[in-house]
Structure 1
Amino acid sequence: MRIEITSDPVEFRARVAGFLERDPLRHTVMYTVVENEITGLTVTEELSYFASVHEGDEVVGVAMRTAGRGVWLGEMPERAIPELVERFAQLLPEIRDVDGSESAALAFAQGWAARHGTTPRLVLSERLYRLGELRTPPAPGAPRRATEADLELCARWVAAMARELENFPLALTESALRARIRAGRWWLWEDEGRPVSLTAHQIPLRGWARIGPVYTPPETRGRGYASALVAHVSQVIRDDLGADVCLYTDLGNPTSNKIYQAIGFEPVFDQILYAFE
């Protein structure tokens, strides 16, 4: 078994394409990150690192560490994790967390703790959902695509969401947010001419488009805006983009899990995030 690590997303995509295509839904986050770096939609001064685990000529696992984030584990044999810990520790001793399946993330966190004298702390449990039969709920108002005139509002709401959530995974520069708005992938729900909720989706890749972020300010919550907007964007993804729809939820937020299941999302896979303290 050997581990190969590169900061070149094109090289990584070519190396692991066949492996990822066996379960594109499981690796929706990795697909998005790699594609955004290749196309220039994500540009940072800090390098990302993409790891592939090989047995002979076969890829058997993947992982990555992107700018400003911890380690994200895709499908990964646990026997490879001790060496993966060592390789990432040599490259990036400042890594602060790991996200993956419960067993793989725990194994990585324990290995990191043993090497660095840290204590793993469970900070987030997530669930990946896929959309089954879509059920569109009623809500006052209507959806519209965000425009560049909404840039300041979208940035302010993303910052507010980051303050509410300890491990909010989205950190966008103004230029990155503008590019996503121009691409038509950010949406607002308006009621009486006033924006009241925000939803975005990622680029469709290998038949899947992932929804997120989803944010409603505290003062307009509880009125069905987010449910209606997610349902609308899901329909657009299916009808206009010809893709299936998925999203992640925080299992610590029973409200979001309930409303997404109510509009047709079905659970697929759970992930755990451990911080190193």
Structure 2
Amino acid sequence: MPEKWDACLGGGCDHGLMIWSVTDDAGDFLAEAGDFLRTAAAENTVVLTVAADVRARGAGAFGGAETLFGWYRSIGGPVSGVFLHTQGNPLHLGVMPVEAIGPLADSPALAERKVSSVNTDERAAAAVVAAWRDRAGTSLRVQDRERLYRLGTLTPLERQPPGRARPATAADRDLLVVWHQAFNDEAGRGGDPSARVDDRLSYGGLYLWHVDDTPVCMVGHSRVVGGMARIGPVYSPAEHRRRGYAGALTVMASQATRDGGATTTVLFTDLANPTSNRLYQRLGYVPVADRVLLGLDPPTA
């Protein structure tokens, strides 16, 4: 049986008000929080896709690291906030009210885990910093900033690059693993991407752009879950960049998500990369929200 318990935090349970609940069972989590996740599918994209991946691939979907899911609600009322944490990765805060952040920082469930960073909507960053500071004198520093985009009207490039796009197949696996690893290295992410590649191939979620017989670009997308899919990774080796391949292949992958039932297609960009931000806006992607990665410093003495 999956471990599941309720965390009565911040005095809320004493007054019959609010409660955080946590579980390591993705099916239980989606049963409890699925309706809420779908009401803000773009903003909750990471929580939705991770939960769907764990449900589809099992608890070891991310290299054997356990994922903890949490949802926030008034007792007897609707869910109004969510989070997840996979060991070795940032604590990811989905949509939640500001008043839920302090109790989460005090959570016994999180105290048992190694949380080294927090990924949050930038609008909630000040509340996150204050909550972790008040919790144990822990300070946080900005490590990275991203922008979340949602697809509006898909707009192909005015000038197509040479070559052609095609779905990736099992015959491409070795190359796909190498390129996923290169993407992870550039993004500062760890872990063996082999299982992720196998999973993406299983549902047709990877595409390649070829010039003659040479693959020059890779684009992937998540499963469609809750009517939402997310584009990524987008990768070209350095010698094949700035030639239009990524833009053209992103258009194909974006259309594929819509053909597969997605009503919401999203992607993230690095705010420090103006080229990619301009490109995706030309393709029809519209800014939704900025997110910030906050690294935790050791508590002060």
TM-score of the pair, normalised by structure 1: 0.91
Shift of 1:192: 1.8
Task: Give the SS at the match of 2:226.
Answer: coil
Shift of 1:221: 0.5
The structure 2 residue matched to 1:254, chosen from 253, 274, 277, is 274
Match of 2:39 in 1: 22
Q: Which amino acid aligns with 1:156?
A: V
For the pair 1:73 / 2:73, whether they are aligned, the reply is no
Q: How does 1:37-186 map to 2 (within 5 A)?
A: 37-40=54-57, 42=61, 44-58=63-77, 59-87=79-107, 88-92=109-113, 94-137=114-157, 138-166=160-188, 168=189, 171-186=191-206
Amino-acid identity (%): 35
Q: Separation in 1 of the partners of 2:182 and 2:30?
A: 34
Match of 2:218 in 1: 198
Q: Separation in 1 of the partners of 2:201 and 2:166?
A: 12
Using a 3 Å threshold, how does the CA distance of structure 1 residues 45 and 242 change in structure 2: closer, same or farther? Answer: closer
Task: Give the SS at the match of 2:175.
Answer: helix
Using a 3 Å threshold, how does the CA distance of structure 1 residues 99 and 176 change in structure 2: closer, same or farther? Answer: same
Q: Separation in 2 of the partners of 1:98 and 1:212?
A: 21
Q: Which amino acid aligns with 1:105?
A: A
- Say if 1:125 and 1:270, in contact at 8 Å, map to a contact too: yes
Stretch deviating more after TM superposition (139-148 or 172-181): 172-181
Task: Give the SS at the match of 1:54.
Answer: strand
Q: Separation in 2 of the partners of 1:182 and 1:9?
A: 20
Q: Which has the larger radius of gyration?
A: 2
- Say if 2:203 and 2:223, in contact at 8 Å, map to a contact too: no
Deviation per CA, 1:18-38: give whole Å up to 9, x if none: 222222222121111111111
Q: Which amino acid aligns with 1:25?
A: A
Shift of 1:242: 5.1
Stretch deviating more after TM superposition (151-160 or 257-266): 151-160
Q: Separation in 2 of the partners of 1:108 and 1:116?
A: 13
Match of 1:9 in 2: 26
- Say if 1:97 and 1:273, in contact at 8 Å, map to a contact too: yes
Q: CA RMSD in A?
A: 1.9
Q: Separation in 2 of the partners of 1:76 and 1:221?
A: 38
Task: Give the SS at the match of 1:252.
Answer: coil
Task: Give the SS at the match of 2:155.
Answer: coil
Q: Which amino acid aligns with 1:16?
A: A
Q: Which amino acid aligns with 1:189?
A: W
TM-score of the pair, normalised by structure 2: 0.85
- Say if 2:224 and 2:260, in contact at 8 Å, map to a contact too: no
Q: Which runs of 5+ in 2 are unaligned?
A: 1-17
Q: Which runs of 5+ in 1 are unaligned?
A: none
The structure 1 residue matched to 2:294, chosen from 270, 274, 277, is 274
Task: Give the SS at the match of 1:180.
Answer: helix
Shift of 1:111: 2.8
Runs of 4+ in 1 over 6 A off after TM superposition: none
Shift of 1:139: 0.9
The structure 2 residue matched to 1:36, chosen from 46, 53, 68, is 53
Stretch deviating more after TM superposition (211-220 or 144-153): 144-153
Stretch deviating more after TM superposition (250-259 or 51-60): 51-60
- Say if 1:131 and 1:265, in contact at 8 Å, map to a contact too: yes
Q: Separation in 2 of the partners of 1:146 and 1:233?
A: 11
The alignment of Structure 1 onto Structure 2 pairs a total of residues equal to: 274
Deviation per CA, 1:174-225: give whole Å up to 9, x if none: 2332221132111111112111111000011122211011111111111000
Using a 3 Å threshold, how does the CA distance of structure 1 residues 240 and 10 change in structure 2: closer, same or farther? Answer: closer
